Amino acid sequence: MSIALAEKALADADLPKNLMVDCSHGNSAKQPELQPLVANDVVQQILEGNTSIIGIMLESHLHKGNQSIPDDLSQLKYGVSVTDACIDWSTTEELLRNMAERLKPVFSQRK
């Protein structure tokens, strides 16, 4: 429903219907492990014919989760976000490869 509302708002403003879907934040209730679910829903919408979706955004880092910045910076964990919680690199890679494979037929037709 949010995609349709965004498309309508863009059309009403006489703007191109080009949408980038944020798989984090509100769409995943700030639960990074739900980002693949959101991304897969976006893929399904594209497979069902949506042409306004031009991309997705993921909260991704080398390692999952996030951390606060400690007083002693030597305590920071390498590759862990200091802002929003993220999915890890292996999850990101698997998700993107799966999306590319599923969407290959759609994008080969759009050339």
DSSP state of 76: P
The secondary structure of the chain in percent helix, strand, coil, rounded to multiples of 5, reads 50, 15, 35
6 assigned to some structural domain: no
Tens of pLDDT, residue by residue over 39-53, are 999 999 999 999 999
**What is the C-alpha to C-alpha distance for residues 6 and 18, in angstroms, rounded to an integer?**
9
12 assigned to some structural domain: no
The answer to whether residues 21 and 46 touch, using CB atoms and an 8 Å cutoff, is no
Q: What is the pTM of this model?
A: 0.88
10 assigned to some structural domain: no
94 assigned to some structural domain: yes
Tens of pLDDT, residue by residue over 66-97, are 999 999 999 999 999 999 999 999 999 999 99
Tens of pLDDT, residue by residue over 5-17, are 999 999 999 999 9
5 assigned to some structural domain: no
Please give the tally of structural domains in the chain: 1
**What is the C-alpha to C-alpha distance for residues 103 and 108, in angstroms, rounded to an integer?**
9
**Owning domain of residue 23:** 17-109
Dmax (CA) of the chain: 54
